[in-house]
Amino acid sequence: MRFSALICLLILPCGALAGSETNPPEFPKAVSSEALVPEAAVPESASPDVGQFFVLANLEFTLLHEFSHMLIEELKLPVLGTEEDAADRIAMIVMLRARQHQSAEEVIPWLFAVAGDWYTEWELKDRPSGKIDYWDNHHLEIQRFHNIVCLIYGGKVELLEDLIDTEILPFERAMSCEAEYRQADHAVQWLLDTYGHSGKIMNTGEQFTVTYEEPIEGQNELMFDLLQSSRVAEKLVAALSARFSLPRPISIEFDNCVSEPDAYWHSPTASVTVCYELLGHFLNMAEYRQKNSRRACNIPSLRRYMGARLRCNDSNERAESEGEAKIELSSP
């Protein structure tokens, strides 16, 4: 669930561990050390379409987050802390593992596209009279952003040293990020070792169906085309099927939504639903991020890896035209 705590409370037993009994079989190390997501699920990093790149990265994170809810419930996984936070951490660790052999130029922009979305959600959130839902079982968007940045940094310390003591990674938090990353990575490894299967592997079709509602015209249609060409959902469920035997079939449904753009796991129907509108929302976030990138461009690591995607040169020109001082940067 991304946004609505209300729906989560009403229809999702978030935190409830219902489901049939599962006997955790052995999972061979040689297989369990592999990433959950095949590298084939990753589009070429040099995609000329920045918006499409942003949408696909966030689609992958969203699906992995909802699949984490599904696994927690279907396999009766123990959860300490909040389930929402656990789902975010599983998703991010899987994304990191899937790209352990990729270059920094490929992996860093992909992961920071997810962080960038959460930052933007917070930046643009309508908070009348400063009202903030501290009671929500989801962390605040800005907390989810910082938690994700911390995991990315913790997993890629050698690449992102100069993130420390910037706006997005305060020194005090940076000091715990390597340990946080190792802890979350260990938990995912435990999940694979304990619940991953080594015996008969079921066909993907026996465990998952992926369906697409006819998209309404406009942006939903464009998102439908992107889903069809990327096949992200199909690749992710194939990877999941290769590692887990689930107690009942799961359906993945892409749909037009009448309410807010969202994605959610729904236990009674054993389904994960993703609204086309959520993907359109990601596209809008990408465009906003590009037009409002000056602060991000002032952070050397982000400028180094994402300067072109964030149009950092353009943002400097915009800043100058607005009469602001040109940003001095220590890296190209």
Cα separation of the two ends of the chain: 38
Which residue, 314, 287, 1, is CA-closest to 138?
A: 1
User: What angle is formed at CA 49 by the lines to CA 215 and CA 300, rounded to 5 degrees?
Assistant: 130
Q: What token pair was written down for 225?
A: 């085309």
Q: Where are the alpha helices (DSSP H) in the chain?
A: 5-11, 29-32, 50-74, 83-98, 104-124, 141-155, 171-195, 204-207, 219-230, 232-241, 276-291, 294-297, 300-306, 312-321
Q: How many residues bind Zn ion (CB under 5 A)?
A: 3
CB 256 within 8 A of CB 276: yes
Q: Which is nearer to Zn ion, 1 or 246 (CB)?
A: 1
Q: Which is nearer to Zn ion, 87 or 152 (CB)?
A: 87
Q: What token pair was written down for 97?
A: 């593992």
Q: What is the closest distance, in whole angstroms, from the C-beta atom of residue 12 to Zn ion in the complex?
A: 8
CB 65 within 8 A of CB 123: no
C-alpha 237/C-alpha 128 separation (Å) is 40
Q: What is the closest distance, in whole angstroms, from the C-beta atom of residue 248 to Zn ion in the complex?
A: 20
227 contributes a contact to Zn ion by CB under 5 A: no
Q: Which is nearer to Zn ion, 1 or 115 (CB)?
A: 1
Q: What is the closest distance, in whole angstroms, from the C-beta atom of residue 272 to Zn ion in the complex?
A: 11
Q: What is the closest distance, in whole angstroms, from the C-beta atom of residue 117 to Zn ion in the complex?
A: 15
Q: Which is nearer to Zn ion, 90 or 108 (CB)?
A: 90
Q: What is the closest distance, in whole angstroms, from the C-beta atom of residue 237 to Zn ion in the complex?
A: 18
- Residue with the shortest CB distance to Zn ion: 1
Q: Which is nearer to Zn ion, 87 or 160 (CB)?
A: 87
Q: What is the closest distance, in whole angstroms, from the C-beta atom of residue 77 to Zn ion in the complex?
A: 14
Q: Which is nearer to Zn ion, 102 or 137 (CB)?
A: 137
Site for Zn ion in 42-101 (CB under 5 A): 84, 87
Alpha carbons within 13 A on the beta-carbon side of 45: 17
Residues 6+ apart with CB under 8 A from 135: none
Q: Which is nearer to Zn ion, 233 or 263 (CB)?
A: 263
3-state secondary structure of 166: strand
Q: What is the closest distance, in whole angstroms, from the C-beta atom of residue 114 to Zn ion in the complex?
A: 14
1 contributes a contact to Zn ion by CB under 5 A: yes
Report the interface residues with Zn ion, using CB under 5 A: 1, 84, 87
